[in-house]
Amino acid sequence: MNVRDATFEVMRRLGVTTIFGNPGSTEVPFLKDLPGDFRFVLGLHEGSVVGIATGYATARDEPSFVNLHTAAGLGNAINAIANARDCRAPLIVVVGQQDRRQLGFEPFLTGRSLERLAGEYPVWSTLPARAQDVPGAIARAYHEAQAAHGPALVVVPMGDWLEEADELAAMAPARVLRPCAVDEHDVARLAELVGDARSPALVVGRGTDSVEGWEAVGGLAEKLRCPVWQEPFVRRAGFAQDHPLFAGHLPWRRRLMHDALSAYDVVLAVGTSAFRLYLFDEPVAVIPPGTRVAVITDDPAEAHRSPCELALVADVPSACRALTRSVAARDSERPEPMRRPPALAPPGESEPLRAGHVLDALSARLPREAVLVEETPSSQPELYRRLAIRAPLGFVGTANGALGAGISGAIGLRMGLPRRPVVAVLG
């Protein structure tokens, strides 16, 4: 058995049999005579390839496999890899390289330090020490991508694939189990902070965007009778936006965010760092004096950068359920729900069709189970006001602000969710 065959066995075991790529000659030894149980999806630009793979990984909540062509392919893909990292989409990115037997001469298509070319955007990267270590490196990349929710990168010289495999080569675990139970003891300090609140609020994000997450956040919000805000620069909808406790989208401007948060004495950010800003438009503190902040997240980095009094790193739905069991029900009046604008009157014959007209028409026709892909920065505030996301994984936004991920991401989402309508709003 050669390294290529051993790698295919690893991929089968992991359930990774779809390959996205725009290959060149450094990828031919891997892709030639691809086994019949594998599927290859061709894209004509690496940004599109990684974008489709990002959508596919998001839809399936498991790593997808990308094959890129040495320095040129990886270079073209870096923006999309950065977006995948910010979207927390798990990817296995395998990059071709010249044959290691002649790398010292820097022949045509040599990539310099490919394992470092994408900077800090991969959650893990490696150039295996020898050809026989490639299958184990790809298995590890799967687990690294899954654990860190981001792209893991493996550089493979083209001659490695046909080398004889080594049964004694180091391999990664066949399966990694991550228990996620959280009990009342784990949330005791958090329950004390939230239980003392007179006017609490929740801010949700990507980390609660699942059926389990929506139910857990909804149960907590109902017990606290508190408003639920969506994080700024929405990547994923963390709560039902037609729920009467949905308050709207937290502003990204410093003053507006400060003013919105000043109504609450305790703010609990769930599945997000919550305070994602943009322009330093005014030198004002984001968190008002007297407002206490706590965070629940499964991402240690998100916890570490959050300006909060207490952060709990745990499985988010489990933590929300434990917190719900630990706090007393509040009997205060329900907060006012978000007020959406009335539909615009149709434009006259000589009047332009505006974004609001299109979004009103889309809102009236969009099925509840549809997935909305948003890449429309100029109309984003209008979209937030006029469209309510009503099902988990019903919204996917461009995480890093760079254009190009919308249409490719929508293709990948549709491939991964063939029974759900996918609508991309671009422009």
Whether residues 35 and 105 fall in one domain: yes
Whether residues 292 and 373 fall in one domain: no
Whether residues 38 and 82 fall in one domain: yes
Tell me how many degrees the CA angle 195-200-201 measures, rounded to the nearest 5. 135
Which residue among 286, 307, 326 closes a domain?
A: 326
Q: Which residues contact 214 (CB under 8 A, 6 or more apart)?
A: 208, 238, 239, 240, 392
DSSP string, 23-62: --GGGHHHHTT--TT-EEEE-SSHHHHHHHHHHHHHHHTS
Task: Report yes or no on 349 lying in a domain.
Answer: no
Q: How many CB atoms lie within 10 A of CB 70?
A: 24
Whether residues 33 and 102 fall in one domain: yes
Rounded CA gap, 245 and 260, in Å?
15
Whether residues 52 and 156 fall in one domain: yes
Residue 370, pLDDT above cutoff 90: yes
What's the pLDDT at 398?
A: 86
Task: Report yes or no on 179 lying in a domain.
Answer: no
Task: Report yes or no on 305 lying in a domain.
Answer: yes
Task: Report yes or no on 174 lying in a domain.
Answer: no
What's the pLDDT at 262?
A: 95
What's the pLDDT at 410?
A: 98
Query: Mean pLDDT lowest for which of 76-90, 180-194, 365-379, 382-396?
Result: 180-194
Mean pLDDT of 377-402: 93
Domain count across the chain: 3
How does residue 188 score in pLDDT terms, banded at 50, 70 and 90? Answer: very high
Whether residues 299 and 233 fall in one domain: yes
pLDDT digits (tens, 9 = 90+) for 272-309: 976 888 888 889 999 999 999 999 999 999 999 998 99
Which residue among 124, 147, 162 closes a domain?
A: 162
- The tally of CA atoms less than 13 A away on the side-chain side of residue 304 is 3
Q: What CATH number is associated with residue 292? A: 3.40.50.1220
What's the pLDDT at 176?
A: 85
Whether residues 194 and 155 fall in one domain: no
Task: Report yes or no on 248 lying in a domain.
Answer: yes
Phi, psi of 310 (to 5 degrees): -150, 135
Whether residues 30 and 153 fall in one domain: yes
pLDDT digits (tens, 9 = 90+) for 223-232: 999 999 999 9
| Average of per-residue pLDDT values in the chain | 94
How does residue 382 score in pLDDT terms, banded at 50, 70 and 90? Answer: very high
Which residue among 116, 147, 162 closes a domain?
A: 162
Residue 169, pLDDT above cutoff 80: no
Whether residues 360 and 241 fall in one domain: no
Query: Mean pLDDT lowest for which of 140-144, 154-158, 178-182, 310-314?
Result: 178-182
Task: Report yes or no on 177 lying in a domain.
Answer: no
Whether residues 141 and 78 fall in one domain: yes
Q: Tell me the percentage of the chain whose pLDDT exceeds 90.
A: 85
Whether residues 123 and 12 fall in one domain: yes
Written as six digits, the tokens of 276 are 């994602």
Mean pLDDT of 234-250: 96
Whether residues 265 and 401 fall in one domain: no
What's the pLDDT at 416?
A: 98
What's the pLDDT at 182?
A: 86
Domain holding 379, by residue range, is 355-426
Buried b (16+ CB within 10 A) or exposed e, 166-191: beebeebeeeeeeeeebeeebbeebb
371-375: strand order across its sheet: 395-397, 371-375, 422-426
Task: Report yes or no on 173 lying in a domain.
Answer: no
Task: Report yes or no on 337 lying in a domain.
Answer: no
Q: What CATH number is associated with residue 34? A: 3.40.50.970
